[in-house]
Structure 1
Amino acid sequence: MRAHSSTIAPPSIAVTAPVQRPGPGTALAALGVVAFSLTFPATAWGLEGFGPWSLVAVRSVLAALIAGGALLALRVRPPSRAHWPGLAVVAAGVVVGFPLLTTLALRTSTTAHAAVVVGLLPLTTALFSALRVGTRPSRTFWAAALAGAAAVVAFTVQQSGGALTAADAYLFGALLVCAAGYTEGGRLARVMPGWQVIGWALVLCLPLAVPAAAVALAHEPVELTAHSVTGLLWVAAGSQFLGLVVWYRGMAAIGIPKASQLQLAQPLLTLVWSVLLLGEHLTVAAPLTAAAVLVCIAVTQRARG
């Protein structure tokens, strides 16, 4: 679909008639999951040299500059007025809300504990999709989704010692706003290219992100190290832009519920990265949980809608 077609395509028609491309769509959504799985370890690295507010604001500015540059270079016309409310939801959920709340949580929470959010995110996104878009997955889908979520939550809580912390309020808030942003972004990706969905959402936040970054950098100490710079660059370019580009494109191809369930693998991937990059330790339950999650993912991908 050409970039300017979003200005004339009736949203109601596009939303009810998505084009299903299971193979490529699943691969694209899976690439998004891999990119997202690095977000928490990269954030932990970023917090070694930046304050939480500075990290979130600067990552938003950098990601918006990348997205804005691509939109300008390709001379993409702005979306129609009808799409801007949805883009505002995407911006509030995945550009501002989720990064800010999880970054605040990671000041005191381990990445293993924070993975509880991602463990519940697939199920929450499927629920938001059912309410907002009207998707009706089968009972088999819901049973597998619940089983996968239970397996991931049980494992991640066990990894973090089973204790609730003050960071949990941030984490559960991040879960809700991100699920709303994913659902709205997946809906919009049916009427415009996925990269434009996150691109315009990032540009929408730029007028707020620039002054926020200036204020935060003036009040929070900054120490530029290899870890902090690498973490910042990844969450800006990888998590905030490139990951969401392939993610929304995959959601448009295979549907929001099925794409969301691929994220059941994300907490386990995050924990692997935590071992490799942060020196955290896993228990012997990891391979068993991974096997259970893979079975649940396979069932949700084969279940009829």
Structure 2
Amino acid sequence: MTNDETRGWLLGLVGVAVFGLTLPMTRLATGSLDAPQLSPWFVTWARAAIAGGLSLAYLWATRSPWPQRAHRGPLALAVLGNVIGFPLLLGWALRHVTASHAAVFTALLPLATAAVAAWLLHQRARLGFWLFAGLGSALVMVYSLLRAHQMGQGFGLSWADTLLVGAVLAAALGYVGGTRVTPALGAERVISWVCALALPVTVPGALLTWPDQAVSASAWLGLAYVAVFSMWAGFFAWFRGLALGGALRVSQLQLLQPFISIAAAVPLLGERLDALTLVFSLAVVASVFVGRRLGATPASPSLPTTKALT
């Protein structure tokens, strides 16, 4: 392995670790249903507004040209999916479920992104990919049903789990939008333009939803993390790692992300590890791994560069 490849793996690992903390940090920011902190609406707008300010500074420093008209549609899709849809639905879901619970659902994101790409970009996928995508989805549904039964709610998909499914689909749509303009704009500029173009919405949104009650320092810390790192800075390590180490190889590190989320939730939130969550996380990640290996067409080198925009 060359020095560049080694650096690529290390930077990729840093990026995955940063994104792995997104779920517990979001839960820290929003709080639980019993002990609410910042509104998920405010967290959604504020994290994007802060990242947008940092993005403007980066775009100005690098003298980045304005996106062309053909880029606006895909960038708008990324704004709707990654800036608004994913964090908002995730924030409301995390008011009701643990970060470990949510990690099982978000583990499907790489397969969901590849499936949406196959649908919207008319890319062909092998039968094996669709079989394992279906298997992964079925495993998540079984986990949801078993978890609901454990909590005395009977067998059924809870409202929070419906929100998590929506969050995964929103993120996948946004990633495909970003992927379409990555070859023209460059990966770092894509996330920066997505955050910057959303500022006319996110800044007023943050001001209108500013909390009017006392909020703990830990909630503000959670917001600061998802704004500076999850929404922006983590991508620079991730994208650089993909470029140096090879996108197809380094992107496999993403399979560690749900386990990082689950492990981080223990010290940050006081959650406990349970066998059901760990077993289903392993099973879902295994289905994602095999599905991505079989889905050679959707998993093109450009796709992984936008798969961790969380």
TM-score, structure 1 normalization: 0.77
C-alpha distance in structure 2 between counterparts of 1:208 and 1:271, whole Å: 32
Q: Does 1:74 align with 2:62?
A: yes
C-alpha distance in structure 1 between counterparts of 2:198 and 2:181, whole Å: 17
Deviation at 1:88, TM superposition (A): 0.6
C-alpha contact 1:189 1:248 (8 A) present in aligned 2:
no
Evaluate the alpha carbon distance shift between residue 271 and residue 88 of structure 1 in structure 2; reply closer, same or farther with a 3 A threshold: same
Evaluate the alpha carbon distance shift between residue 157 and residue 38 of structure 1 in structure 2; reply closer, same or farther with a 3 A threshold: farther
What is aligned with 1:39? Answer: 22
What is aligned with 1:96? Answer: 84
What is aligned with 1:170? Answer: 163
Amino acid at match of 1:184: G
Q: Does 1:179 align with 2:167?
A: no
What is aligned with 2:110? Answer: 122
Deviation at 1:299, TM superposition (A): 3.6
C-alpha contact 1:88 1:201 (8 A) present in aligned 2:
yes
Paired residue total? 280
What is aligned with 2:227? Answer: 236
SS of structure 1 residue aligned to 2:230: helix
C-alpha distance in structure 1 between counterparts of 2:282 and 2:109, whole Å: 19
Q: Does 1:223 align with 2:215?
A: yes
SS of structure 1 residue aligned to 2:185: coil
Q: Cα deviation per residue 1:243-287 (whole Å; 9 max; x = unaligned)?
A: 3455567789647xx95x765543333212112321111223566
C-alpha contact 1:51 1:222 (8 A) present in aligned 2:
no
What is aligned with 2:74? Answer: 86
Deviation at 1:212, TM superposition (A): 1.2
Q: Cα deviation per residue 1:217-238 (whole Å; 9 max; x = unaligned)?
A: 1x5424251x223211110011
Amino acid at match of 1:123: L
Evaluate the alpha carbon distance shift between residue 23 and residue 231 of structure 1 in structure 2; reply closer, same or farther with a 3 A threshold: same
What is aligned with 2:300? Answer: none
Deviation at 1:36, TM superposition (A): 2.4
Evaluate the alpha carbon distance shift between residue 197 and residue 24 of structure 1 in structure 2; reply closer, same or farther with a 3 A threshold: farther
Deviating more after overlay: 125-134 vs 163-172:
163-172
C-alpha distance in structure 2 between counterparts of 1:233 and 1:137, whole Å: 39
Deviating more after overlay: 160-169 vs 37-46:
160-169
Instruction: For 1:117-156, list aligned pairs within 5 A.
Output: 117-151=105-139, 154=142
Evaluate the alpha carbon distance shift between residue 25 and residue 86 of structure 1 in structure 2; reply closer, same or farther with a 3 A threshold: farther
What is aligned with 1:201? Answer: 194
Amino acid at match of 2:160: A
Deviation at 1:35, TM superposition (A): 2.5
C-alpha distance in structure 2 between counterparts of 1:30 and 1:128, whole Å: 25
- Can you give the 5+ residue segments of structure 2 that lack an aligned partner in the other structure? 32-36, 298-310
Deviation at 1:152, TM superposition (A): 5.5
Deviation at 1:71, TM superposition (A): 0.6
Evaluate the alpha carbon distance shift between residue 291 and residue 40 of structure 1 in structure 2; reply closer, same or farther with a 3 A threshold: closer
Evaluate the alpha carbon distance shift between residue 180 and residue 209 of structure 1 in structure 2; reply closer, same or farther with a 3 A threshold: same
C-alpha contact 1:91 1:181 (8 A) present in aligned 2:
yes
Using the aligned pairs only, state the percent identity.
35
Evaluate the alpha carbon distance shift between residue 113 and residue 297 of structure 1 in structure 2; reply closer, same or farther with a 3 A threshold: closer
C-alpha contact 1:122 1:262 (8 A) present in aligned 2:
no
Q: CA RMSD, aligned part only?
A: 3.4
Q: Cα deviation per residue 1:40-82 (whole Å; 9 max; x = unaligned)?
A: 1001111244222222221111111111111111111111111
C-alpha distance in structure 2 between counterparts of 1:24 and 1:146, whole Å: 35
- Can you give the 5+ residue segments of structure 1 that lack an aligned partner in the other structure? 1-21
Evaluate the alpha carbon distance shift between residue 174 and residue 301 of structure 1 in structure 2; reply closer, same or farther with a 3 A threshold: closer
C-alpha contact 2:255 2:289 (8 A) present in aligned 1:
no
What is aligned with 2:41? Answer: 53
What is aligned with 1:271? Answer: 262
Amino acid at match of 2:39: G
Amino acid at match of 1:202: C
